[in-house]
């Protein structure tokens, strides 16, 4: 309005300053819950990585111990080969044995030396890999300690299966379900349009009056505008549950199968220790005595030596398999890989 006095346009001006905010406490709580669940998922991934690294370190340590044992057997083979060369040399000098047998003995001895050199190089490489796993540029140790040929204590398969809930992968699925549940709560909170309240100060120029004003805004209309995302969050929860059940079944099957292989390795190891190797040792002594008596040729003697050495190597393979499978079972059941017969 234009005019004079009270009708002056500027005299009728009203000034209002207000502050408004949304009532979204439920939405805020849902956002915080989703953020915390996401952090738990990262922690689960870290636990999985930590378990895998521990298992890998145990396997590298086991490899060093295996090669040390093989190197010791190779050294024993060299002693047997040297003894054979010495004995045959005496017989050749005496004219009771043809020189061809001495040539074969020396060739066999050289092969044994080359095998020992192979294990020395492999062991050096294995120690460097283990040192790198521990964060060192090169190993500050020459040997690792442990009793590879001593069968460790083994629990029943039921005990291992009962520990599967500790597996980090299963824990990750549970964490993922919590993440999806938090996401569902967040989407459901977003689906509800929040109320809005406001408050402020009003001043009227015409009479210099002032006062307090308040307002509230209540949304009308449908409250399920976000139902597509809500349905998607529910589907993800169902998918995560199915994946966890499938992973649990896979782990149970894998632990059971590995355990059966573990028991077989134990039986094989015991067979070599209790039966096969002692019999070969007796056969070697008898064959050597028969050779010195002129009843056997060097061929029978060398073959018996080879049988004994091969049996010892097969024993190492079976014993190593026990520890390898035990470490894998411990990893699958969420137990930090640690075997009593192995020590750093």
Q: Each residue of 45-54: pLDDT tens digit?
A: 677 777 778 8
> Residue 305 CB: number of other CB atoms within 10 A?
22
3-state secondary structure the chain: CCCCHHHCHHHHCEEEEEEEEEECHHHHHHHHHHHHHHHHHHHHHHHHHHHHHHHHHHHHHHHHHHHHHHHHHHHHHHHHHHHHHHHHHHHHHHCCCCHHHHHHHHHHHHHHHHHHHHHHHHHHHHHHHHHHHCCCCCCCCCCCEECCCCCCCCCCHHHHHHCHHHCHHHHHHHHHHHHHHHHHHHHHHHHCCCEEEEEEEEEECCCCEEEEEEEEECCCCCCCCCHHHHHHHHHHHHHHHHHHHHHHHHHHHHHHHHHHHHHHHHHHHHHHHHHHHHHHHHHHHHHHHHHHCCCCCHHHHHHHHHHHHHHHHHHHHHHHHHHHHHHHHHHHCCCCCCCCCEEC
Tens digits of residue pLDDT in 250-265: 888 888 999 999 999 9
* pLDDT for residue 244: 74
In a domain, 1, yes or no: no
* Residue 214's CATH number: 1.20.1600.10
In a domain, 256, yes or no: yes
Q: What is the pLDDT, as a whole number, of residue 96?
A: 85
User: How many residues in the chain?
Assistant: 344
Number of domains in the chain: 1
Q: Is residue 6 part of a domain?
A: no
Contacts of residue 41, defined as CB under 8 A and 6 or more positions apart, other chains included, come to 172, 175, 176, 179
Q: Does residue 9 belong to any structural domain of this protein? A: no
| pTM, full prediction | 0.70
Whether 301 maps to a domain, the answer reads yes
pLDDT at 103: 94
In a domain, 195, yes or no: yes
Q: What is the band of 114 on the pLDDT scale with cuts at 50, 70, 90?
A: very high
Q: Is 305 a member of any domain? A: yes
Please report whether residue 337 resides in a domain. yes
Q: Could you report the per-residue pLDDT of 186-209, keeping only the tens digit for each?
A: 555 555 555 555 555 565 556 666
The whole-number pLDDT of residue 237 equals: 65
pLDDT at 162 over 90: no
Average pLDDT, the chain: 77
Q: 79-111 burial string, b = 16+ CB within 10 Å, else e? A: ebbeebeebbeebbeeeebeeebbebbeebbee
Residue 59, domain extent:
14-343
Work out the widest C-alpha separation in the chain, in whole angstroms: 149
């Amino acid at each position: 309005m234009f005019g004079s006095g009270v009708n002056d346009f500027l005299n009728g001006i009203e000034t209002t300053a207000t502050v408004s905010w949304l009532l979204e406490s439920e939405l805020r709580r849902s956002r915080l819950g989703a953020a915390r669940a996401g952090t738990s998922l990262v922690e689960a991934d870290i636990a999985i990585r930590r378990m895998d690294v521990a298992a890998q370190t145990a396997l590298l340590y086991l490899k060093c111990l295996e090669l040390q044992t093989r190197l010791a057997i190779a050294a024993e083979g060299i002693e047997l080969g040297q003894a054979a060369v010495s004995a045959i040399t005496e017989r050749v000098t005496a004219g009771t044995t043809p020189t061809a047998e001495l040539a074969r003995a020396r060739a066999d001895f050289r092969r044994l030396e080359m095998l020992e050199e192979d294990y020395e190089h492999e062991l050096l490489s294995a120690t460097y890999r283990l040192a790198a796993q521990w964060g060192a540029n090169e190993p500050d140790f020459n040997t690792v300690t442990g009793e590879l040929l001593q069968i460790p204590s083994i629990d029943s398969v039921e005990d291992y299966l009962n520990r599967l809930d500790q597996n980090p992968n299963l824990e990750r699925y549970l964490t993922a379900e919590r993440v999806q549940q938090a996401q569902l709560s967040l989407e459901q909170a977003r689906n509800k349009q929040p109320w809005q309240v406001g408050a402020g100060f009003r001043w009227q120029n015409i009479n210099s009056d002032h006062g307090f004003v308040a307002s509230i805004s209540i949304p009308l209309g449908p409250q399920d505008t976000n139902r597509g995302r809500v349905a998607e969050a529910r589907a993800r929860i169902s998918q995560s549950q199915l994946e966890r059940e499938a992973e649990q079944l896979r782990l149970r099957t894998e632990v059971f199968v590995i355990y059966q292989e573990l028991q077989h390795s134990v039986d094989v190891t015991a067979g070599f220790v209790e039966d096969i190797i002692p019999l070969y040792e007796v056969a070697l002594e008898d064959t050597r005595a028969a050779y010195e008596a002129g009843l056997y040729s060097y061929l029978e003697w060398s073959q018996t030596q080879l049988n004994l050495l091969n049996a010892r190597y097969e024993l190492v393979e079976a014993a190593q398999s026990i520890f390898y499978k035990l470490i894998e079972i411990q990893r699958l059941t969420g137990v930090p890989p640690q075997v009593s017969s192995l020590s750093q």
